[in-house]
């Protein structure tokens, strides 16, 4: 059964056979900015049904572009989901399939009154498999990444300076990113003469401890600092080369913390019944009193950042030749005091972060390209993060993908994505579709397959089968009624899964 694409409320912009570059109206390659936030649920934005949180800029971005209703993250948790973007591989093929940490059991060093890990970061991307920034560089793009890396620990074979990034500022380690007022951030900047990724100490922050009441005296707010560096990078673009920006903002991930400015004060007044959370030092989440206000404020702050990115592009005269994409790395969390039930954050889907049910992997996905994507389109094409790489290659006019980028010396090297550029440009007749979409996540021992409207979730080897057309909340397990379809989807799992000793998974239950 093949996935069917339906375009709602808008007709095709282009006649069949017109290429993306012709659609751009010029011979130059389009600029691309991909804004990826952290742990935002499908229902967290106004344009996806959120009633309590103000998101005017993202709502306007949806009105001016295309809003997808069946877009999927690559995994229900951060590092492996981002890996599917970077590698163009689903989580049964990619090397990174979980949050393997490298800050544990290492010596500590002093940062003011604080102790910090000497090595931080996660499992590196396979250096023998090309990743997205490297491909963009090969296509003539200058590359900038601002935010969370999560694709290698400090000093490993996979840090921004070694993997196709020209300018980087943010967190190498996603565990470090649990603090919004950290002891240090990381930087790699060719323009500043860096030869490797370095640490930038937050001198004002380290005067105060990481935990307790004095933590709130810290003044260097990482989210703002990362965003300002991203804006500076856009401002530095002079049009001589196309640019690819990957802005991996940490909002609205826990901890729930931000400046006590007009955004937060607004929500403190709005939510008079607040939930208090006690804090957890091991997780790096500080105690929070106004949890609802803090969470809502973080999403509105993120929305403000998106508005400033769009405004900067317009100010620079880059608006019409820049594709801007917004999405989230996985579904909503309940960490650090976040209250997904209060906000209805799952968008009426079952499951949260770390689960392969729809709530853990279906995410907001908005694309804006003035004059090329018809405004106000709502699209139910089914795509996953590993489709982003081939889409960017097609939009950049790269006719060598994927053949040129397969490493013949790496056994089983592959790419799993299908470009959705035809869908973006209204050329639906040319849009290829997946036979199935695939996820696996070892920490909760879950695998999922979507095949048309059929969804299979395998938990610790036990299959559960749903019809999403009739049961979007995945309440009614139909495995016993459709054993033939279950068997077909289990066969897909056995075909798509490759063994990875670091991230073991149960393929099927045995008595």
**Residue 504 predicted with pLDDT over 80:** yes
230 pLDDT more than 50: yes
Q: Is residue 4 part of a domain?
A: no
Q: Find, among 351, 372, 371, 349, the residue nearest to 360 by Cα.
A: 351
- Do residues 168 and 197 touch, judged by C-beta distance below 8 A? yes
Q: Where are the alpha helices (DSSP H) in 46-99?
A: 56-64, 78-87
- The answer to whether residues 371 and 230 belong to one domain is yes
Q: Encode pLDDT of 298-326 as tens digits.
A: 999 999 999 999 999 999 999 999 999 99
Say yes or no to pLDDT of 165 above 70.
yes
pLDDT digits (tens, 9 = 90+) for 41-74: 999 999 999 999 999 999 999 999 999 999 999 9
| 111: CATH | 3.40.720.10
Are 314 and 452 members of one domain? no
pLDDT at position 24, please? 42
DSSP state of 101: B
CATH no. for residue 497? 3.30.1120.10
Q: How large is the average pLDDT for residues 138-157?
A: 98
Pick from 432, 462, 485: which residue ends a domain?
A: 432
Residues 88 and 174 in one domain: yes
| Lowest-confidence region among 118-127, 269-278, 292-301 | 269-278
Average pLDDT of the chain to the nearest whole number? 93
Alpha-carbon gap, residue 311 to 488, rounded angstroms: 49
The sheet carrying 437-441 orders its strands as 437-441, 446-451, 454-459, 462-467
Domain range holding 469? 445-511
For the stretch 423-452, pLDDT in tens is 999 999 999 999 999 999 999 999 999 999
Q: Does any domain span residue 135?
A: yes
Query: Are 488 and 428 contained in the same domain?
Result: no
- pLDDT for 123 beyond 80: yes
pLDDT in tens, 377-406: 999 999 999 999 999 999 999 999 999 999
Q: Are residues 408 and 505 in the same domain?
A: no
Where is average pLDDT lowest: 22-26, 119-123, 290-294, 489-493?
Answer: 22-26
End-to-end CA distance of the chain: 31
Does 275 share its domain with 408? yes
Structure confidence at residue 510 (pLDDT): 54
Mean pLDDT lowest among 144-158, 250-264, 272-286, 296-310:
272-286
Q: Judge if 383 and 453 occupy the same domain.
A: no
The verdict on 257 and 289 lying in the same domain is yes
The reply to whether 48 falls in a domain is yes
Whole-number Å distance between alpha carbons of 223 and 79 = 19
Tell whether 473 and 396 lie within a shared domain: no
> What confidence score (pLDDT) does residue 197 get?
98
* 440 found inside a domain: no
Is there a domain that residue 437 lies in? no
Number of domains in the chain: 2
The two structure tokens encoding residue 116: 């910090």
C-alpha 454/C-alpha 344 separation (Å) is 25
Check residue 508 and give its pLDDT.
80
Structure-model confidence comparison of residues 14 and 176, the more confident one? 176
SS3 content of the chain, % helix, strand, coil (to 5): 30, 20, 50
- Asked, for residue 439, whether it belongs to a domain, the answer is no
The answer to whether residue 438 sits within a structural domain is no
pLDDT at 14 (0 to 100): 38
Is residue 27 predicted with pLDDT exceeding 70? no
Query: Cα angle vertex 55, ends 52, 58, to 5°?
Result: 145
**Do 408 and 453 belong to one domain?**
no
Q: What is the mean pLDDT of residues 263-278?
A: 88
Tell whether omega for the bond before 252 is within 30 degrees of 0, i.e. cis.
yes
Is 199 strand, coil or helix?
A: strand
Specify whether 385 is located in the same domain as 453: no
The yes-or-no verdict on residue 18 having pLDDT over 80 is no
Based on the fold, state whether residues 411 and 340 are members of the same structural domain. yes
Select from 388, 406, 432 the last residue of a domain.
Answer: 432
Residue 78 has pLDDT above 80, yes or no: yes
For 145-159, 282-296, 478-492, which range has the lowest pLDDT when averaged over its residues?
A: 282-296
Last residue in a domain, options 432, 455, 479: 432
Q: Coil, strand or helix: which one is 300?
A: helix
SS3 223: helix
Residue 26 has pLDDT above 90, yes or no: no
pLDDT at 125 over 70: yes
Residue 137, domain member (yes or no): yes
């Amino acid at each position: 059964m093949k996935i069917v694409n339906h375009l709602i409320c808008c007709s095709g912009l282009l006649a069949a056979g017109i290429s993306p570059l012709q659609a751009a109206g010029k011979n130059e390659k389009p600029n691309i900015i991909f804004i990826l936030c952290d742990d935002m649920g499908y229902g967290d934005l106004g344009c996806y049904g959120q009633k309590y949180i103000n998101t005017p800029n993202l709502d306007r971005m949806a009105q001016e572009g295309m809003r997808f209703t069946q877009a999927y993250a690559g995994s229900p948790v951060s590092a492996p989901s981002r890996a599917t973007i970077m590698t163009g591989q689903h989580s049964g093929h990619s090397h990174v399939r979980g949050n393997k940490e490298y800050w544990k059991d290492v010596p500590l060093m002093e940062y003011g009154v604080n102790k910090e890990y000497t090595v931080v970061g996660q499992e590196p991307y396979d250096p023998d498999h090309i990743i997205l920034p490297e491909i963009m560089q090969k296509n003539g793009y200058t590359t900038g990444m601002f935010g969370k890396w999560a694709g290698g620990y400090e000093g490993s074979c996979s840090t921004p300076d070694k993997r196709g990034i020209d300018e980087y500022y943010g967190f190498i380690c996603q565990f470090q990113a649990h603090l919004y007022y950290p002891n240090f951030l990381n930087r790699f900047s060719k323009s500043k003469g860096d030869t490797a990724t370095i640490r930038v100490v937050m001198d004002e922050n380290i005067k105060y401890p990481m935990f307790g009441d004095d933590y709130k005296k810290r003044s260097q707010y990482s989210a703002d600092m990362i965003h300002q560096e991203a804006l500076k990078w856009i401002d530095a673009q002079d049009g001589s080369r196309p640019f690819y920006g990957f802005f991996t903002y940490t909002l609205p991930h826990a901890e729930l913390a931000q400046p006590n400015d007009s955004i937060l004060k607004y929500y403190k007044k709005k939510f008079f019944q607040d939930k208090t959370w006690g804090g957890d030092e091991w997780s790096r989440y500080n105690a929070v009193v106004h949890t609802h206000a803090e969470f809502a404020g973080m999403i509105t702050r993120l929305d403000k950042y998106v508005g400033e990115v769009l405004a900067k592009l317009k100010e620079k005269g880059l608006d019409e030749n820049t594709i801007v994409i917004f999405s989230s790395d996985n579904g909503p969390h309940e960490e650090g005091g976040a209250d997904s039930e209060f906000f209805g954050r799952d968008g009426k889907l079952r499951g949260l972060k770390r689960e392969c049910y729809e709530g853990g992997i279906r995410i907001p996905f908005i694309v804006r390209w003035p004059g090329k994507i018809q405004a106000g389109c709502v699209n139910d094409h089914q795509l996953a993060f590993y489709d982003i790489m081939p889409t960017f290659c097609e939009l950049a006019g790269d006719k060598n993908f994927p053949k040129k980028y397969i490493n013949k010396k790496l056994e089983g090297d592959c790419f799993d994505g299908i470009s959705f550029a035809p869908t973006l440009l209204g050329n639906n007749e040319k849009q290829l579709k997946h036979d199935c979409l695939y996820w696996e996540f070892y920490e909760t021992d879950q695998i999922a397959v979507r095949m048309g409207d059929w969804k299979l979730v395998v938990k610790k080897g036990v299959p559960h089968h749903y019809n999403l057309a009739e049961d979007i909340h995945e309440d009614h397990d139909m495995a016993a009624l459709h054993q033939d379809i279950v068997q077909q989807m289990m066969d897909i799992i056995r075909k798509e899964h490759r063994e990875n000793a670091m991230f073991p998974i149960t393929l099927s239950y045995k008595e």
